[in-house]
Amino acid sequence: MGFRLEGIFPAALLPLLLTMILFLGPLMQLYMDCQCDLADGLKDVLAPRSWARCLTDMRWLRNQVIAPLTEELVFRACMLPMLAPCTGLGPAVFTCPLFFGVAHFHHIIEQLRFRQSSVGSIFLSAAFQFSYTAVFGAYTAFLFIRTGHLVGPVLCHSFCNYMGFPAVCAALEHPQRRCLLVGYALGVALFLLLLQPLTDPKLYGSLPLCVLLERAGDSEALLCS
């Protein structure tokens, strides 16, 4: 289920670094739109008072701690080991996120109940959310298999919840859009370049899920090596 000490430090740091590289453009956009100085911003982020305020905010706890931990535990740590022996690792990586995407359909009920928009736009928004949550679920499933740890997917999930979906339209209208678009493109290019090296299973020790499949006489060489 991804709870082990072997290789825990690279499993916590490298997937998060990889995800932050992918979000290079949005991070640049966040910095450009921030009114405070970088040093002052870091001081505020690292201040114990800021963390105490976050830990008493139930919305922050839900989005940054509870949801990432419970969703990754259910849809990666529990579901992948059950699906993989039946389907193989490859199909499991793409099947598991479908359940993850469907699990977010409860937002439709909330929006319909409070009449936040038209019915058509609500269902269109739900379809879009299903698409990107399914893609994200496939990514964290890939991380879980390649690292053999749950900590990486949880931290990446928390980071992505904080960042939200990249504001590409706002970047296109930004006064420094050329710089931002270079950042977006560079982030994607570096992400694709570093995806395999930073998730190399050799960095994380033995992979429990791959060992389980090998014992069952099934081995997915592309994902386990």
Instruction: Classify residue 73 by its DSSP letter.
Output: I
Which positions ≥6 away from 191 have C-beta within 8 Å? 18, 21, 22
Instruction: Classify residue 205 by its DSSP letter.
Output: -
Q: pLDDT tens, 120-152?
A: 777 787 788 888 888 999 999 999 989 989 999
In a domain, 205, yes or no: yes
Nearest to 201, CA basis, from 152, 135, 156, 134: 152
Mean pLDDT (whole number) for 12-19? 96
The pTM of this model reads 0.86
Domain count along the chain: 1
For 143, phi and psi rounded to 5 degrees?
-65, -40
Task: From the candidates 71, 72, 149, 157, give the one annotated as an active-site residue.
Answer: 71
Residue of 41 and 192 predicted with greater confidence: 192
Q: pLDDT tens, 75-100?
A: 899 898 888 888 878 888 888 888 88
In a domain, 120, yes or no: yes
State the pLDDT at residue 214.
Answer: 66
In a domain, 3, yes or no: no
In a domain, 127, yes or no: yes
What is the Cα–Cα distance from 203 to 9, expressed in whole angstroms? 10
Nearest to 106, CA basis, from 82, 134, 126, 86: 126
Percent helix, strand, coil in the chain, to 5, is 80, 0, 20
In a domain, 2, yes or no: no
- What domain range includes position 170? 8-223
For 208, phi and psi rounded to 5 degrees?
-55, -40
What end-to-end distance do the CA atoms of the chain give, in Å?
A: 19
In a domain, 94, yes or no: yes
**71: annotated active-site residue:** yes
Q: pLDDT tens, 17-74?
A: 999 999 999 999 988 888 766 666 667 767 788 878 888 889 889 999 999 999 999 9
The count of other CB atoms within 10 Å of the CB of residue 172 is 11
Band of pLDDT at residue 221, cut at 50, 70 and 90: low
Residue 192 has pLDDT above 60, yes or no: yes
Residue 173 has pLDDT above 60, yes or no: yes
State the pLDDT at residue 116.
Answer: 64
Mean pLDDT (whole number) for 99-111? 72
**157: annotated active-site residue:** no
In a domain, 1, yes or no: no
Residue 209, CA atoms < 13 Å, CB-side half-sphere? 36
Nearest to 10, CA basis, from 208, 141, 143: 143
